[in-house]
Amino acid sequence: MSLGYYFLLPVIFSFLTPYFKKLGSFTLRGSTILLMLILFLQTLAYTGVTLPQISEFSLKPPLGIAFILDGYSLLFLLIFTFSALIVSFYMVWFFKANKGRDEARFYVFFNMLIAGSIGMILSCDIFNLYIFFEITGICSYALSAYNKDKLGLESGIKYLIIGLIASIFIVFAIMLIYLQIGTVNLGLIAQRFGQIDPKISVLIVLMLFIGFGTKAELFPMNFWAPDIYQGSMASVNGLFSSVVAKAYLFVFFHLFYLFGLNSKYMLFVMVIGAITFLVSEFTALNQTNIKRLFAYSTLGQLGILFMALSTNSSATVSGALFHLTSHSISKLLIFLALGILIHKFKSAKIDILGNFKSGFLTIVLAIGFLSILGIPPFSGFVGKILILKGFALTQNYAAIAFILLVSIVEAVYFFRLTAMMLDKKRTKISVPIGFANYVVLSVLAVLIVLFGVYPSLLTHYTDLATNALLHPTNYLNYALGVGL
């Protein structure tokens, strides 16, 4: 299958949605599940082939448009398709529980969102990347405002305005690149980036940094992010946290390493990541809204990832990618589980965690919490220890101390929530969960444990990804059309 279908199939399904809707909601839901299943299985199939893979359209690169799948994007592809599959299962329950919602509208944007995110990580020219960026953006604005209530629309508007700002920076950067180099092919850009006038290149880098950094929720540009999470549905939050934010992060570091930025930039990104981590974790302590709280937690984890990914040491980066995967799974689990509670209690106050009665939900949520905190034997632990190990190898003890100290702050609110769940003195109301959710949440929880006790399953892919990210020679050859 050509890589193009990763983009094409969701788009086709998205356009067919009105017809599916006419055929009934079963078809609508089923078709999306089918689509995501196909994508996921296809991705699994790609794990067996030699990488990178390329699919060009009409012309060979560097002139034509092409999709390239290397180790780095394979990892993200796995995460995205898997998350999408999980969410599409979850939405079956959601729409059953919430009768009378406009299902078609959700699925249109959902499919397109996945198409856009996947496009972003596969595309090998910067302009296509921008288009996918915008597609992802538009779909996220729409999904964020899906509820069409006051809060939903407010978050949609906020997200849209921020998206506009980010896209102006990125368009500007792309134009400058084209003016300087005369190409949009990533391979050529990477090759010739060093020849640009340093002042212009600083400007380009800064603009890309601001553009993608804003979307990837880095500190001084992330004042909007918690609002968006608070206003959107829990399942959409799960998508934002484990797919959309990760896609922007992917692009950020893809460009970062392709352009071969020097250690000053690395230090800068690391400091920014650290500040993001610090501020978010502290702010999270003060939250009363559960979705908002986990939004801050997501920001914090992104902070760690930025810290670790900007080190250019394969040990740290590999750890960070492991952590990223584990975080995606855990956050998806948490947000989906919260969705069930929020639906039941019609409220997103923190107290709902103390008022439900369901051993299953308690266990899966606890697994999610412990995993994010990096406590063995859950997958977050492996990620965190790999990151710390990486920092230790470069003798960056300050980073280790920083991460560990702030992690204690993180533990404060995670365990406050856990203690609320376990508190027997509160009035407890039993929560119906639904068969689909039992399956979905158990799969996620089992994965978290599995990656925790048998990390080799995942380290194989993170090592591939690290290698592809830090040594993009193969990728460049393909992007330049040399190897074809």
Partner 1 sequence: MLEFFNSTQTIHTIIIIGSMCLFFIGFYGIATQKNLVKVLVSFDIMESALFLFFIGLHYQVGLVAPIVDSNLKTFTNMVDPVPQAMILTTIVIGLAVLALGLSFGIEYYKLTGRNDISKMNELRD
Partner 2 sequence: MNSIFLLLNLLPILFLYQFEGALHVSLPLTNEFTLSLIQTPLGSFFAYLSLISFLLVTIAQKSKKLSFSYYALQFLLSLAMLAIVLAGDFITFFIGWEIMTWSSYFIISKSNNMNIKSLQKYILFSLASAFSLIAGIVIAYSFANSFDFVAISNSFESMPFNIKVALIVLFSLSFFTKAGVIGLHYWVVDTYSKAPDLFSSILSAVMSKMGIYGLFLIYGNIIGYHELKIMFGTMLNGTDFGYVLAWIGVATSIIATFKAITQDEVKKLLAYSSIAQLGYIVAVIGFGTSYGVAGAMYHTLIHTIIKLLLFINVAAIVAQTGKNKFSELGGLIYRTPVSFVMLLIGIIGLAGMPPLGGFASKFMMYNAAIDTKFALILIGMLFSGAASFLYCYKLVYGIYLGHPTSKSLESTKEVSIHYLIPQIILALLLVLTGAFPGAFIKVINPILKEFSLSTIGYDGLGVMQSAVGNFNGFFIISAFVVIFLLILLLIWRIKSKAKNNLNRFDISYCGEVPTADTSLHYGYGFGTELYRIKFVNAILKRSSSHFYESLATQTKKTSELFSRMYYGNIHNTMIIILLFFSALFFLGVN
Chain residues binding partner 1 by CB under 8 A are 127, 130-131, 134, 137-138, 141-142, 145, 148-151, 153-158, 160-161, 163-165, 167-168, 171-172, 174-175, 178-179, 182, 184, 226-228, 230-231, 283, 286-287, 292
Q: How far is the CB of 150 from partner 1 (least distance, A)?
A: 5
| Shorter beta-carbon distance to partner 1: residue 98 or 288 | 288
Among 58, 195, 262, 395, binds partner 2 (CB under 8 A): 395
434's tokens:
């639904």
Name the maximum alpha-carbon separation found in the chain: 68
**2-10, 26-34, 117-125, 454-462 -> range binding partner 2 (CB under 8 A):** 454-462
CA distance 134 to 140: 10
Kindly write down the DSSP assignment for every residue of 267-278, as one continuous string: HHHHHHHHHHHH
CA distance 396 to 316: 11
127 binds, among partner 1, partner 2, none (CB under 5 to 8 A by kind): partner 1
If binding is defined by CB under 8 A, does position 467 make contact with partner 2?
Answer: no
156 binds, among partner 2, partner 1, none (CB under 5 to 8 A by kind): partner 1
Q: How far is the CB of 376 from partner 1 (least distance, A)?
A: 33
Q: How far is the CB of 263 from partner 1 (least distance, A)?
A: 32
| Shorter beta-carbon distance to partner 2: residue 395 or 430 | 395
* b/e map 89-117, b = 16+ CB within 10 Å: bbbbbbbeeeeebebbebbbbbbbbbbbb
Q: How far is the CB of 393 from partner 2 (least distance, A)?
A: 6
If binding is defined by CB under 8 A, does position 400 make contact with partner 2?
Answer: yes
C-beta of residue 235 within 8 angstroms of C-beta of residue 91: yes
| Shorter beta-carbon distance to partner 2: residue 224 or 345 | 224
If binding is defined by CB under 8 A, does position 91 make contact with partner 2?
Answer: no
Q: How far is the CB of 262 from partner 2 (least distance, A)?
A: 12
User: SS3 of 289, please?
Assistant: strand
Please report, for residues 22, 62, 228, the alpha-carbon distance to residue 129 in angstroms, rounded to integers and kept in the order given. Answer: 34, 15, 23
Q: How far is the CB of 178 from partner 1 (least distance, A)?
A: 7
Q: How far is the CB of 277 from partner 1 (least distance, A)?
A: 18
45 binds, among partner 1, partner 2, none (CB under 5 to 8 A by kind): none
Residue at 213: amino acid letter? G
Q: 48 phi and psi, to 5 degrees?
A: -90, -10
CA distance 14 to 20: 10
C-beta of residue 295 within 8 angstroms of C-beta of residue 229: yes
- How many residues sit close enough to partner 2 to count as binding (CB under 8 A)? 68
If binding is defined by CB under 8 A, does position 388 make contact with partner 2?
Answer: yes
CA distance 372 to 301: 8
If binding is defined by CB under 8 A, does position 181 make contact with partner 2?
Answer: no
Helices then strands, counting H and E runs in the chain, come out as: 21, 4
CA distance 65 to 147: 37
Q: How far is the CB of 171 from partner 1 (least distance, A)?
A: 6
If binding is defined by CB under 8 A, does position 382 make contact with partner 2?
Answer: yes
Sort 398 into a burial class: Cβ within 10 Å, 0-12 / 13-18 / 19+: exposed
Please report, for residues 45, 115, 191, the alpha-carbon distance to residue 3 in angstroms, rounded to integers and kept in the order given. Answer: 12, 12, 24
If binding is defined by CB under 8 A, does position 165 make contact with partner 2?
Answer: yes
If binding is defined by CB under 8 A, does position 185 make contact with partner 2?
Answer: no
388 binds, among partner 2, partner 1, none (CB under 5 to 8 A by kind): partner 2
| Shorter beta-carbon distance to partner 2: residue 112 or 207 | 207
H-type helices in 63-102, by residue range? 71-97
Phi-psi region of 217 (alpha: psi -120 to 50; beta: other; left: phi over 0): left
Residue ranges in contact with partner 2 by CB under 8 A: 157-158, 161-162, 165, 169, 199, 202-203, 205-207, 209-210, 214, 220-221, 223-224, 226-227, 279, 282-287, 359, 366, 370, 373, 375-377, 381-382, 385-386, 388-389, 391-393, 395, 397, 400-401, 404-405, 407-409, 411-412, 415-416, 418-420, 422-425, 454-456, 459
